[in-house]
Structure 1
Amino acid sequence: MRYRADIDGLRAVAVAGVVLYHARVPWVQGGFAGVDVFFVISGYLIAGLFAAERARTGTVDLAAFARRRVRRLLPLLLLVLAVSLPVAAAVLLPQQLKDFGQAAGAAPLFAANLLFWHESGYFAATAAGKPLLHLWSLGVEGQFYLLAPLLLWRRAGLLAAGLLSLAAAVWAARALPEAGFYLTPFRLWEFLAGAALASWTLPRLPRAAGAAGLAMILATFAGFDGGMAWPGAAALLPVAGAALVIGAGGAPLLAAPPLVRLGQLSYGLYLWHWPVFVFFALRWPEAPWPLAAPGLLALSLALAWGSWHLVERPAARGAGGRLLPAAGLALVAAGVGLHLSGGLPARLPAEARAVLAQARVSSTPCHDRLDAAQAAAGARCVIGAPGVEPDLALIGDSHADHLGPALDRALAARGRAAVVYTGSWCAPVPGFGSAAPGRGPGCAALMQAAWAQVLADPKLRTVIAAAQWGNVTDGTRGDLPAVAYGSAALAASVPAANARALEAALQAFAPRLRAAGRQVLLPMPVPEFAAPVPDSLARLAWTGTATGVATGTATATLPPLDEAARNGAAAAVLRRFAAAAGARTVPVRDLFCAPGAARCRVRAADGAPLWRDASHLTPAGAAPVVARLMEIVDAGTATTGDHHDHLSLRQPPDTDRARVHLYR
């Protein structure tokens, strides 16, 4: 197969898109599609090599093919992992280092995509703490190599597999977005689009087609963003663009020497740039990114240039091949060791370890305990004083559950009890939810059954209904693809559609709730943050730097996410519902943030974090919220409107686990 300089130029375009996207260049928000372009190129080259060898020898030496692919990919990958390991140990927090070790162990086995599939999405906020996240694409690439002999043997099979994969990708982009992004079956069509060009004898496309293809790729980089369902039907644009460029062949612009050289460095640049970006951002979080990014890009290019000369070219000639198995096993073992060690927590000072320990998940054992059928049959999970018939109900999602341990303590002190119906992603609205997998598809039925049980029991005079309402109106919590709730159609304006669906469901429920005459309290949303609060506090104790943290003698504050953008629509819907249903909204933001302040208190006077992550409260953080709610309950008031009493922030006794004393 003859060398084509323009394909190296196309590689340059692809890697530039990815790197500039990761560098947060505002006009390259769709640069992640450069990976899709790489997959098309890879499919074309692998199919071309197979076709050329089969034409020459009548067969394909699969063992030789595997050796060539290993020599091409593994040496530099192992070097990047070896360099990253000590840097990770110096920069990452224990959980981050534990996850890093797992990824480092999976990467040489070309299985990183399977690992990240089980973790956060590629566009997640937490992705910024994963220095090896970009290696998911090598997992997909390696798995394609395993399947290539089967897929590329007959052209009819290639076409059928490609169409099936494309159809599955379009479906998964909405129904199973994480699987659709990371798993090879949903990416095969991109490889096979390139493979088709090499498998069929097609006339060369006119040069204008190549120019149009390049324009399609650049339009993707400039016009798309990480909020899109990907790689669904929208990915056809860059994939078709890459196919047109390859099919036209010989584009003078792409064959220009600077682009060709960048294309030759593309593998190294891809491997090096993301760890460089992530480690810098974690170690120097206050550094202004626009000023730092050019230097980080230059460093990444320098590393790519050096490794191309010192590693990639010698490895292509067979140098060091005998060392690869031992080196690969050593790095896998090192990664597994880091994971099993829990991320070497002893590296951190005692204060940082204490912050992370205090922020462990605190939940009632009732959370996600009941399904709709159990709730409808009368099964109940109860917290508070043992042996006492409940007179309260706690209903909602994990933002209801995070109140549970503190509520359990408060109820026990009063000789009272509460029945709990909480489930992940479950907004406390009967018959309302999202059907999307992983977003509580059983929530609508569970909330229907829960409210039926509560309203049928006259002893349950008070209901606390809480949720991370911004999840509903936004369709996401910021690190997952947006989904539709209720009857809303997922469209360009998901928040508006979801807000309308939420309002319709609540207003339909309001007359029934008003007629029931219950005291219904709706805690308003707590402040949320861009990163897990305990991580920021632990990093502050470890290195003296953390993004946005301002400290006093015993407290710390952080700037929260914009309240109006995150919760404004939900707050308006809840207030209108409260007025219609005779319920009461209870503001809680002022417990943590001074009126008009741009920062919120995130640590108690004794140093305990008030959040366990970026949005959920610890028992210490939930205590003042519960105190405000119980003040209303104790007073027996049931008027509508906002409750504005100001309570002091105080640290409760240990409330890590609520006591469940009744389950029937």
Structure 2
Amino acid sequence: PRTPYPGVAALLPCLGTAAVIWAQPTPNKLVLAATRPMIAVGLWSYSLYLWHWPVVSFATAIWGPPSSAMDKLGLLAACTALALASFYLVEQPARRAEWPVTARRLAASGAAALLIAVITIWSAGFPGRFSPQQQALAGFINYDHSGVYEEGTCFLSPGQTFEALQPSCLARGPGSNILLWGDSHAAHLVDGLKRAMPQATLRRATMAQCVPYLERGQSAACDEFNRRLPELLREHAPDIVILSGNWTRSVMAPAARADLFATIAAATAAGSRVVVIGPSPQFDRPLPHLLIASSRFGVDSDGHVPTMFFAVDAFLRDLLKSVPQTDYVSLLDLLCPDKHCVLQTADGAPLAWDDGHFTAQGSELAATRIVAASPALSSAGTISSIGEQGAAQSR
């Protein structure tokens, strides 16, 4: 996977091919018999190359990326069948046909192709073929999350440093003071937590691609960001520290566990109670795509959260159950009971705008349930029930 290609790595097969052509070998009958299947595939290969793009693209758009060997074999069989049909019914007859080619005909066919392309682009892909509900969902595909996540001020990009955090992000306010620390999976909770705990002060320190502990292989900016946590805790002494991140299997490594414990210990040593928010529901494709495919093609909307996240959730729950002054809140338990995930909020908005980051409506729904499930957070401020009222359990 790490080999750049094409590049120097492409030189060996190219030189080998050149050597075979230059030598002009005369293979015996046994060699011809052995290579005949490869020769046949070579003849069909261009048709196979052309067909695999639309087949795989449309299949992924409708059913999601192929995950099992049977899915992949099925796609290969479909591509092969279409390639053989076009090879024998279109390509070969076209090779034998005696069609006079003139500049006028070439210009006319090129102009027709260009006109079709221009009309399709100008019409934005003919959105009228979708229902109003599907068009509303499609509007979330280009969702602008920057304002909701406070991008560039309280939610830093990997190119920024801790000093870029605006003073307002860490300002002390009335009521319980709560510090939210983590990556984009912390930032996507900000809007909802503010609404769910209106009497508390939410202080935010989040950075993209930066889980809330010193994980090996993260950027230097992220390492520096996380190393500032003990100093920040001593200076601001929040009542509660919320840790949230894009938890993956990497947290199961012994070094990662030790670093996570160190982060929690720094918070509890400063007198803060810790609430760790588990993995968010993450889907095998952008959720608006899944919802449209479910509505338009009847695709089953269950089973699109990789099992890895449930395994990580169980691991973190068990890991943190006996850690002093620390609560663990399972978002998967709250949003995916029995692995049937909430996909839309009461107003029809998708829970997430991509494969796992909450919309403003999704953030409110998730945060309301988090606060209700956490004794520390529920006692920190008055719970608003706006996001919970009539939450749609759409699947």
Q: Give the TM-score band, short-chain normalised.
A: 0.7 to 0.9
Which residue among 311, 316, 319 is the counterpart of 1:568? 311
Distance 1:399 1:371, change over 3 A: closer
Q: How many angstroms does 1:328 deviate by?
A: 5.8
* Structure 2 counterpart of 1:650, one-letter code: Q
Q: How many angstroms does 1:471 deviate by?
A: 6.5
Q: How many angstroms does 1:426 deviate by?
A: 1.1
Cα distance in structure 2, aligned partners of 1:587 and 1:283: 30
Q: Which residue of 2 aligns with 1:633?
A: 377
Alignment of 1:365 onto 2:127? no
Which residue among 177, 184, 187 is the counterpart of 1:391? 177
Pairs within 5 Å for 1:294-305? 294=77, 297-305=80-88
Q: Which residue of 1 aligns with 2:208?
A: 424
Q: Is the CA contact 2:282–2:356 (under 8 Å) kept in the aligned structure 1?
A: yes
Q: Is the CA contact 1:370–1:421 (under 8 Å) kept in the aligned structure 2?
A: no
Cα distance in structure 1, aligned partners of 2:363 and 2:171: 16
Pairs within 5 Å for 1:134-149? none
Q: Which residue of 2 aligns with 1:403?
A: 189
Give the secondary structure class of the aligned counterpart of 2:322.
helix
Which residue among 35, 40, 54 is the counterpart of 1:275? 54
Q: Which residue of 1 aligns with 2:242?
A: 464
Cα distance in structure 2, aligned partners of 1:572 and 1:275: 40
Report Cα offsets for 1:495-551 as digits up to 9, x if no partner.
Answer: xxx62331132234443333122121111123332232221222333x3x24213xx
Report Cα offsets for 1:6-49 as digits up to 9, x if no partner.
Answer: xxxxxxxxxxxxxxxxxxxxxxxxxxxxxxxxxxxxxxxxxxxx
Report Cα offsets for 1:60-94 as digits up to 9, x if no partner.
Answer: xxxxxxxxxxxxxxxxxxxxxxxxxxxxxxxxxxx
Q: Is the CA contact 1:499–1:573 (under 8 Å) kept in the aligned structure 2?
A: no
Higher share in helix: 1
* Structure 2 counterpart of 1:621, one-letter code: G
Aligned residues: 372
Alignment of 1:524 onto 2:278? yes
Q: Which residue of 2 aligns with 1:264?
A: 43
* Structure 2 counterpart of 1:253, one-letter code: A
Distance 1:393 1:252, change over 3 A: same
Q: Is the CA contact 2:335–2:366 (under 8 Å) kept in the aligned structure 1?
A: no
Q: Which residue of 1 aligns with 2:130?
A: 348
Cα distance in structure 2, aligned partners of 1:373 and 1:277: 38
Distance 1:453 1:347, change over 3 A: farther
Gap regions ≥5 residues in structure 2: 65-69
Cα distance in structure 1, aligned partners of 2:217 and 2:114: 40
Which residue among 267, 283, 294 is the counterpart of 1:540? 294
* Structure 1 counterpart of 2:355, one-letter code: A
CA RMSD of aligned residues (A): 4.3
Report Cα offsets for 1:300-339 as digits up to 9, x if no partner.
Answer: 3101333321446769x99578866775676567557645
Give the secondary structure class of the aligned counterpart of 1:561.
coil
Which residue among 583, 604, 611 is the counterpart of 2:352? 611
* Structure 2 counterpart of 1:406, one-letter code: G
Give the secondary structure class of the aligned counterpart of 2:139.
helix
Cα distance in structure 2, aligned partners of 1:191 and 1:313: 35
Cα distance in structure 1, aligned partners of 2:42 and 2:277: 55
Q: Which residue of 2 aligns with 1:230?
A: none
Give the secondary structure class of the aligned counterpart of 1:265.
helix
* Structure 1 counterpart of 2:151, one-letter code: C
* Structure 1 counterpart of 2:238, one-letter code: L
Q: Is the CA contact 1:397–1:423 (under 8 Å) kept in the aligned structure 2?
A: yes
Give the secondary structure class of the aligned counterpart of 2:181.
strand
Cα distance in structure 2, aligned partners of 1:425 and 1:314: 58
Alignment of 1:559 onto 2:338? no
Q: How many angstroms does 1:383 deviate by?
A: 8.9
Q: How many angstroms does 1:352 deviate by?
A: 0.6
Q: Is the CA contact 1:470–1:567 (under 8 Å) kept in the aligned structure 2?
A: no
* Structure 1 counterpart of 2:150, one-letter code: P
* TM-score normalised over the length of structure 2: 0.75
Q: Which residue of 1 aligns with 2:232?
A: 454
Q: Is the CA contact 1:511–1:581 (under 8 Å) kept in the aligned structure 2?
A: no
Cα distance in structure 1, aligned partners of 2:60 and 2:239: 51
Which residue among 147, 162, 169 is the counterpart of 1:375? 162
Distance 1:459 1:255, change over 3 A: closer
Distance 1:606 1:507, change over 3 A: closer
Q: Is the CA contact 1:394–1:463 (under 8 Å) kept in the aligned structure 2?
A: yes
Q: Which residue of 1 aligns with 2:361?
A: 620
Cα distance in structure 2, aligned partners of 1:570 and 1:247: 60
Distance 1:406 1:600, change over 3 A: same
Q: Which residue of 2 aligns with 1:650?
A: 389
Q: Is the CA contact 1:540–1:546 (under 8 Å) kept in the aligned structure 2?
A: yes
Pairs within 5 Å for 1:46-57? none
Distance 1:306 1:253, change over 3 A: same
Cα distance in structure 2, aligned partners of 1:448 and 1:318: 73
* Structure 2 counterpart of 1:301, one-letter code: L
Cα distance in structure 2, aligned partners of 1:247 and 1:404: 69
Cα distance in structure 1, aligned partners of 2:206 and 2:58: 38
Cα distance in structure 1, aligned partners of 2:285 and 2:150: 26
Cα distance in structure 1, aligned partners of 2:151 and 2:202: 11
* Structure 2 counterpart of 1:537, one-letter code: L
* Structure 2 counterpart of 1:517, one-letter code: G
* Structure 1 counterpart of 2:247, one-letter code: W
Q: How many angstroms does 1:567 deviate by?
A: 4.1
Q: Which residue of 2 aligns with 1:488?
A: none
Cα distance in structure 2, aligned partners of 1:539 and 1:377: 41
Which residue among 189, 196, 201 is the counterpart of 2:15? 196
* Structure 1 counterpart of 2:169, one-letter code: V
Gap regions ≥5 residues in structure 1: 1-172, 181-185, 205-245, 474-497, 550-557, 638-646, 653-664
Q: Which residue of 1 aligns with 2:343?
A: 602
Report Cα offsets for 1:201-252 as digits up to 9, x if no partner.
Answer: 9996xxxxxxxxxxxxxxxxxxxxxxxxxxxxxxxxxxxxxxxxx9996732
* Structure 1 counterpart of 2:275, one-letter code: L
Q: Matched residues, percent identical?
A: 23
